[in-house]
Amino acid sequence: MDREVCYGDLGCFKTETVRSFSRPIVLLPDEPDKIGTRFFLYTRQNQLKSDEHELSRKVVDSFSTSNFNSKVPTKFIIHGFTHSAHEPWVQSMKDELLKHDDMNVIAVDWRQGAGFPYTQATANIRVVAMEAVRLIEFMQTEYPAVKAGDIHFIGHSLGAHASGEVGTKIKGIGRISGLDPAEPYFEGAVEDIRLERRDAEFVDIIHSDGSAFLGSLGMGYRSSVGHVDFYPNGGGDQPGCDKSVGSKLINSASAGLSKGTDALKDTFACSHQRAYEYYIESINFECPFRAYPCKSYDDFKAAKCLSCGDGQCSRMGYHADQSEARGDFYVMTNQKGEAPHCSYHYSMKVQAGVMDGKAYGEVDISVGGDNGTSFGPIPMTAKETYVETNTVLTRLVVTLKKLTDLSKVTVTYKKDDCFTCFVYTDFLRLQKVEINSGEDQESTAYCGKNTSVAKDQVREFSKAERFNSC
């Protein structure tokens, strides 16, 4: 049976408008006083949490007595399930934003309505969104110079969908950044109740926990819903986070028992929370979080998609709006799963072969520069890999530091030790090594010119004067 509830100037909310296959249970939102939506303003004049100023459309001088500046952009941050505006990540994001530029940062707090059960929290974001809509309308009444295009919403999980609902009510919102929008109750739902690209002039999404909820308890939305959708490490489980249902449950319970509720949430929602970690780091970090268009993550991992010709690449995170590129993008981060997460991408390519027959083993390369920088060894093959005439070995490598002034590479061939390996050659012949930088779009060649590399031998090769001179 469809039901309806009305809450004054926030309007009426009906269950029929949100009913869908993905929502077997549809609840009405709680009363506004029970949800307790609050708006905390931070500026460069009152950046600390202790100096936050609460804005309210019901208090006449709420804005006039604050440091709100109608001449600078306004950023809204909306948290998700079980969080609050005073979460460390919200405060860190606020600090990085204000460090980057002069702006109004408004942290939306709806902690009283963001708790269990999840089904009720999904209903409550409708009221949270309308509270934000009414605040913006009040803001624009007080300051006619404030345009919707200067407003940017940054929402995590349920907060991303709440941001989308604001965009359906206020046309022309400049930007919405969805940080791993929640999947349960939203994947496959009608567009009116979830974040999608029509909700703002520019919608950018980071998918960090897009594994199926029923299969591995992934909490994030998998489908492309923005003008740009970023899939770090494939968009599913993130480096350093548990992947299987069993490990998530066991390790989360252990963390909760030993360190408390916050540790339990951090462990269970590790991949889900990684989206805002990437976003926060992207604001002021010198590493660009370059992201690349590609048909699939498998192709990306195979180093087939590091070209950025004609402005085809983008930047994951805060600076995504600096690119005109649109579509799905892939990026790899620190594979240790720790900060800093942003990494530099390189395609390593070895053109090798043998005189007769086949080689059977492993090929490693290391790179070094005149300034003492080095990286490696980089395994170009797995064990039990064949190398024949004109074999090309390719590997995508990510590094935390940019590789600069590379003047040489060393190549090692390790012949596998097996009962029948005597039939395979003891020598590898090297034609050329190529290193292509995704961030700089520069390519460097190291000439082998059919040089022989014996098993367990380390051979060094110098950089070619011109890329095509080998």
Number of domains in the chain: 2
**302 and 374 inside one domain:** no
- Considering the domain architecture, whether residues 257 and 172 belong to the same structural domain is answered as yes
pLDDT for residue 404: 85
Dist CA 47 CA 29 (whole Å): 33
**404, part of any domain:** yes
Domain of residue 419, CATH code: 2.60.60.20
Final residue of a structural domain among 284, 309, 344: 344
Helix, strand, coil shares, percent, the chain, to 5: 30, 30, 40
Gap between the Cα atoms of 170 and 168, Å rounded: 6
Looking at the structure, tell me whether residues 95 and 200 fall in a common domain: yes
pLDDT at position 22, please? 67
Domain assignment of residue 188, given as a range: 4-344
User: What pLDDT score does 120 carry?
Assistant: 96
pLDDT averaged per 10 residues in sequence order, the chain, 470 residues? 90 77 82 98 97 95 96 98 97 98 98 96 97 97 95 98 96 97 84 89 96 60 94 95 57 43 61 97 97 96 92 96 96 96 96 84 88 83 83 94 89 86 86 94 90 89 77
pLDDT value, residue 126: 96
pLDDT at 259: 45
54 and 125 both lie in a single domain: yes
Which H/E stretch holds residue 345?
A: strand 344-353
Is the pTM value of this prediction over 0.85?
yes
In a domain, 390, yes or no: yes
From CA 164, how far away is CA 317, in angstroms rounded?
Answer: 18
pLDDT for the residue numbered 256: 40
- Given a contact cutoff of 8 angstroms between Cβ atoms, the answer to whether 73 and 84 are in contact is no
Same domain, 368 and 251: no
Neighbours of 58 (CB within 10 A): 8
Catalytic residue positions, numbered? 157, 180, 272
d(CA 275, CA 266): 13
**DSSP label at residue 381:** S
Q: Is residue 430 part of a domain?
A: yes
The verdict on residue 81 lying in a domain is: yes
Domain membership flag for residue 470: no
In a domain, residue 374? The reply is yes
Domain end call among 344, 361, 382: 344
Cα 162 from Cα 176, distance rounded (Å)? 10
Q: What is the largest CA-CA distance in the chain?
A: 87
**Separation CA 77–CA 279 (nearest Å):** 12
CATH number at residue 76: 3.40.50.1820
d(CA 321, CA 227): 10
Asked if the structure places residue 108 within a domain, the reply is yes
Note whether 231 and 265 are same-domain residues. yes
394 and 270 in a common domain? no
Residues 274 and 400 in one domain: no
Same domain, 339 and 354: no
Asked if the bond preceding 88 is cis, omega within 30° of 0, the reply is no
Q: Residues 276, 156, 398, CA angle at the centre, nearest 5°?
A: 30
User: Are 307 and 374 contained in the same domain?
Assistant: no
Same domain for 111 and 147, yes or no, is: yes
388 in the same domain as 250: no
Q: Is residue 145 part of a domain?
A: yes
Question: How many Cβ atoms from other residues are within 10 Å of residue 319's Cβ?
Answer: 15
> Which phi and psi angles does 380 have, rounded to 5°?
-90, -10
Last residue of a domain, one of 313, 344, 375: 344
